[in-house]
Amino acid sequence: MKPAIVVVDHGSRRPEANAQLEALARHLRESAPDRVIHFAHMELAEPTLAQAIDACVEAGAAEIVVHPYFLGPGNHTTHDIPRMVEESAARHAGLRVRVSEPLGLHPKLVEVVLERVGEAERER
């Protein structure tokens, strides 16, 4: 059985915003072909977190790590997502689901911020 990852964001009414998470999931699949990878939105768009967890189980996953694709530890990452995960996992006997920390203050994000700032400065 392959372990699974579900990357979850808030969700948006803007399809182009939601498409970015789908693209991230594609890149993750390419980088981690030994894992089942799905994406989900908390609200406003599908697939939902429950749908993504169900899809992982259907693919044979017995262990899932849900990664909140958020910058910081706000209410969504500390309360809402863990609650939604617990509710969804309860429907699948024996399923182990953990929630990772959000992106947070990771050193690689410093590199990304500086890269984006450099791109903006070159637009002059």
Predicted model pTM? 0.92
Q: Are 46 and 9 in contact (CB under 8 A)?
A: no
How far apart are alpha carbons 24 and 7 in whole angstroms?
9
* Tens digit of each residue's pLDDT (9 = 90 or more) over 68-104: 999 999 999 999 999 999 999 999 999 999 999 999 9
Percent of the chain with pLDDT over 90: 97
Termini Cα distance of the chain: 51
For the domain spanning 4-122, the CATH number is 3.40.50.1400
Does the pLDDT at position 33 exceed 70?
A: yes
Compute the average pLDDT of residues 12-37: 97
- pLDDT at position 124: 67
